[in-house]
Amino acid sequence: MEKKRILFVSQEITPFLPKSEISTVARKLPQGVQESGKEIRVFMPRFGVINERRHQLHEVIRLSGMNLIIDDMDHPLIIKVASIPTARMQVYFIDNEDYFKRKAVLHDNNGDEFEDNDERSMFFCRGVLETVKKLGWKPDVIHCHGWMTSLMPMYIKDIYNNDPHFSDTKVVYSVYGNDFNKNWDNKFSEKLKFEGFKEEIIESIKSGDFTSLNSAAMKYSDGVVLGSKDVNTSLKEAYENCSGLKMEFNPEEMQPKEMSEFFDKVIEEEAIIQ
């Protein structure tokens, strides 16, 4: 029997970035799911604070070289990879000089989110999908971690909806309590229009705030996981009302087995069609 394929997409993974709720789960969960018998791929952004020499990142020439157009501007897509030997796991990195060269992750020195985080999110999500296509690897499930991946469910259900490579792909979104304090660019809706998103999606997330982005991500996902014990009231309500399969918060040590079984259920369910 062919192994189920799970694509993990996270805004942060340890040891490449400091330990956090998201980075720890995104490091341990793929390993556990792989050990349960599934095939995995793992992606994150190549933020400028990541030490390439220490972590032995190297460019994958055969996957690099594409250009992605974001807001009518060309941006070269560079793919790098590194191994986590103790986990027998590779991590792919989405890189671009305009979006990820700066020596920071999501915030400036004052703790404010970067003005172009909306475009960085777009580039990251599309970069992952285009790279997976180039790999010729069709995921059964894409599991998203962190608000930088919040657009992924909408990309799969709308922009890539007619792409045969993702025709059977399900999306699972883990919602965390890692709020941000600055809404995305006020031209965000125009950028979404340029991407080709349908009006219903644009209207629901045009404000670019944490709650609307996460709520929409849950709405367009086939499975939703509470990644944090505490999320704000609006998100908890959106979680309760979403039509996909749901998984309550689980202690970290229970997640690989529980999540592997959850993926199986999501794969078997009829897709969420919006």
pTM: 0.96
Burial of 264 (0-12, 13-18, 19+ CB in 10 A): middle
Q: What pLDDT does residue 271 have?
A: 74
217 with 173: CB under 8 angstroms?
A: yes
- CATH topology (fold) of 5-44+117-268: Rossmann fold (3.40.50)
- Per-residue pLDDT of the chain in tens (274 residues, 90 and over written 9): 789 999 999 999 999 999 999 999 999 999 999 999 999 999 999 999 999 999 999 999 999 989 999 998 999 999 999 999 888 899 999 999 999 999 999 998 888 889 999 999 999 999 999 999 999 999 999 999 999 999 999 999 999 999 999 999 999 999 998 888 788 999 999 999 999 999 999 999 999 999 999 999 999 999 999 999 989 999 999 999 999 999 999 877 668 999 999 999 999 998 766 5
Q: What pLDDT does residue 255 have?
A: 82
Q: What pLDDT does residue 253 have?
A: 62
Which residue pairs from 65-72 have beta carbons closer than 8 angstroms and sit at least 24 positions apart in sequence? 66/130, 66/134, 68/123, 68/126, 68/127, 68/130, 70/119, 70/122, 70/123, 70/126, 70/191, 71/119, 71/187, 71/190, 71/191, 71/194, 72/194
83 with 89: CB under 8 angstroms?
A: yes
What's the rounded Cα separation, in Å, for the pair 133 and 130? 5
- What is the pairing mode between strands 73-84 and 89-95? antiparallel
Q: What is the dihedral of CA 135, 141, 146, 147, to 10 degrees?
A: 90
Q: What pLDDT does residue 182 have?
A: 82
CA distances from 75 to 47, 72, 90, 98, 120 (A): 16, 10, 25, 8, 11
Q: What pLDDT does residue 78 have?
A: 97
10 with 146: CB under 8 angstroms?
A: yes
- Going from N- to C-terminal start, the domains of the chain cover 5-44+117-268
Residues 6+ apart with CB under 8 A from 151: 121, 122, 125, 213, 217
